[in-house]
Structures are given as structure tokens and as C-alpha cells.
């Protein structure tokens, strides 16, 4: 038998009575990082055999865990935080057990994505979970462009050292006015929710090195959004005028390209 046990995402008190009961009665606990899991088990005086199970050994160790289950052992799978299988190892093991006619059960509990969503203040009726975006700028922008037409609220995970770059790319692809929230350290002492447009959040983290994992929530769009050009508004306007476009038409074109009002364009270029 395999139990998928959700564990706290920050505050150890968030673990359920049932999770503690199953962890206490199982034979083996498979976990991403034994050092993190042992802290949780020690907090509740649970002594169990731990087996390291993570992304790079999931196939080899998965077969080992399957054999242990066949021998009658009850196994709990936990991730470092939250529900195993969500942006963490677990999916392969579940499939392996089902393919071999072995039982699987889930002990639900804390989840960073849903917790951040309800904290965000954005639409919770329909949403899509994307997880971690690619770490390289080119692939990240390409993926965001693929989601440009998404109408549901979008949920992303992001590392603290990439939070500013990620929000900057979102501003470029989704437009400056898209509402968003960046939630950090959920359930921990320094839990905080940053709300505003993607541009405002990008500015908030510019030049900073925040700590803690982030969940970014972005409101869905109404359809395709024109990507913001690399050149400045002043440069783009000057090129149009130099090319013979009249001022009124130039204002209209720039407003559409940068997803801002004509009045904002007028203010930025300071037309006399």
C-alpha cells in the first residue's frame, strides 16, 4: 500500500491528525530530503525508516519501493512540503503502483498553489496551475507567449532569485496592466502578499534579493495581448514621426503597441 501524505508548507502545526496517524503506523517513509523529513517526524516523536526518493532516482528507487510494498510493507510518500506529485516527485511512483495492481491512497493537506490563490484576491472560480516556468529567459518568454490567450487565473511557482526577471517577462508579454499577486513564505513568520499589476510587482523586486519561495498569481486575459517592444516609447514615437506618420496616428499606434492609453503616451513623450 502506498500513501501520498501532504506535509506542512511552512508551519509544522498544519499537519493533520490523520497524516500523523498514517505516518506513525506505516513501515517506511519515502521522502525527497531525509534531513527535512526527519525534522517533521522528530517534532511528533515518530521514528521510521527513511528512504530517499527524488527526481533523479525515482525510477530505480521506485522499483525498490514497489518490491517493498509487495512484501507487505506500508509506504508513505512525502515531499519536502505540500502534496507529493505536485511540482515534486510522486507522479511516476503512483503510475508504477497502479500498473502493478497495487493500492494507492492520499492523505490531503497543505498546498502552496491553492493557499496563494485564495490569498491573492484574484478570481478563484477558474484557474490553471503552471508550476515552475523555464529558468532561461528565452524559454520562459516563449512559454508565457503560449499562455498569452489564457482567460483563467494563472498560478506559477518561482524561486526568489528569479522573481524580478519572471515578473519583468510577464510585463513584456502580458502587458503592464495585468493584475497579479506574489505570495511568499506561506504559513511562516514572514508570510506576505504583494498585490498590484505585473509591472508594479516587477518594480517592487527590482534590485532586491528576497528570501523564501514564491507563488505568483496572474489574472487571466481577454485575448491576445501585443507584446511590448524593446525600444522605449520615445524612440518608437520618434521613428514614426521621422518616417512621415502624423502625430495623431503615431499616438494611436504607440498606445496599441504598449497597451496604454493615448493620454499616457502623450504624457510620456511630453508633446508641446
The pLDDT assigned to 230 comes to 65
What is the domain range of residue 140? 112-218
Number of domains in the chain: 3
- Residue 2 CA to residue 227 CA, distance in Å, equals 47
Same domain for 118 and 205, yes or no, is: yes
Tell me the mean pLDDT in the region 235-254.
Answer: 85
- Boundary residue ending a domain (107, 130, 152): 107
Residue 224 in domain: no
Same domain for 116 and 41, yes or no, is: no
Look at 102-106, 111-115, 119-123, 239-243 and tell me which has the smallest mean pLDDT.
239-243
- Boundary residue ending a domain (107, 130, 164): 107
Residue 227 in domain: no
Tell me the mean pLDDT in the region 9-14.
Answer: 94
Same domain for 116 and 174, yes or no, is: yes
- pTM, two decimals, is 0.79
The model's pLDDT over 216-229, given as tens digits with 9 standing for 90+, comes to: 999 998 865 555 56
Q: Identify the CATH number of the domain in which residue 163 sits.
A: 3.30.950.10
3-class SS string, the chain: CEEEECECCCCHHHCCHHHHHHHHHCCEEEECCHHHHHHHHHHCCCCCEEEECCHHHHHHHHHHHHHHHHCCCCEEEECCCECCCCCCCCHHHHHHHHHCCCCEEEECCCCHHHHHHHHHCCCCCCEEEEEECCCCHHHHHHHHHHCCCCCCEEEEEECHHHHHHHHHHHHHHHCCCCEEEEEECCCCCCCEEEEEEHHHHHHHCCCCCCCCCEEEEECCCCCCCCCCCCCCHHHHHHHHHHCCCCHHHHHHHHHHHHCCCHHHHHHHHCCC
Amino acid at each position: 500500500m502506498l500513501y501520498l501524505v501532504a506535509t506542512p508548507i511552512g508551519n509544522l502545526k498544519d499537519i493533520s491528525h490523520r497524516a500523523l496517524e498514517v505516518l506513525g503506523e506505516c513501515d517506511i517513509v519515502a521522502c525527497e530530503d531525509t534531513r527535512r523529513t526527519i525534522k517533521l517526524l522528530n517534532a511528533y516523536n515518530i521514528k521510521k525508516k527513511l528512504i530517499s526518493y527524488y527526481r533523479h532516482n525515482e525510477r530505480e528507487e521506485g522499483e525498490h519501493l514497489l518490491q517493498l510494498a509487495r512484501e507487505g510493507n506500508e509506504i508513505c510518500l512525502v515531499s519536502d512540503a505540500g502534496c507529493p506529485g505536485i511540482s515534486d516527485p510522486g507522479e511516476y511512483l503512483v503510475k508504477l503502483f497502479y500498473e502493478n495492481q497495487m493500492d494507492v491512497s492520499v492523505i490531503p493537506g497543505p498546498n502552496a498553489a491553492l493557499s496563494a490563490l485564495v490569498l491573492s484576491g484574484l478570481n478563484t472560480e477558474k484557474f490553471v496551475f503552471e508550476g515552475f516556468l523555464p529558468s532561461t529567459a528565452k524559454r520562459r518568454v516563449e512559454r508565457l507567449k503560449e499562455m498569452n490567450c489564457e482567460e483563467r487565473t494563472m498560478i506559477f511557482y518561482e524561486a526568489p532569485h528569479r522573481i524580478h526577471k519572471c515578473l519583468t517577462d510577464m510585463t513584456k508579454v502580458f502587458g503592464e496592466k495585468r493584475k497579479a499577486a506574489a505570495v511568499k513564505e506561506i504559513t511562516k513568520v514572514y508570510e506576505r502578499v504583494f498585490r498590484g499589476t505585473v509591472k508594479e510587482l516587477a518594480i517592487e523586486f527590482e534590485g532586491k534579493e528576497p528570501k523564501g519561495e514564491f507563488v505568483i498569481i496572474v489574472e487571466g486575459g481577454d485575448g491576445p495581448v501585443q507584446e511590448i517592444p524593446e525600444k522605449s516609447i520615445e524612440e518608437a514615437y520618434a521613428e514614426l514621426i521621422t518616417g512621415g506618420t502624423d502625430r495623431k496616428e503615431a499616438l494611436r499606434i504607440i498606445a496599441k503597441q504598449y497597451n496604454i492609453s493615448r493620454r499616457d503616451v502623450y504624457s510620456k513623450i511630453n508633446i508641446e
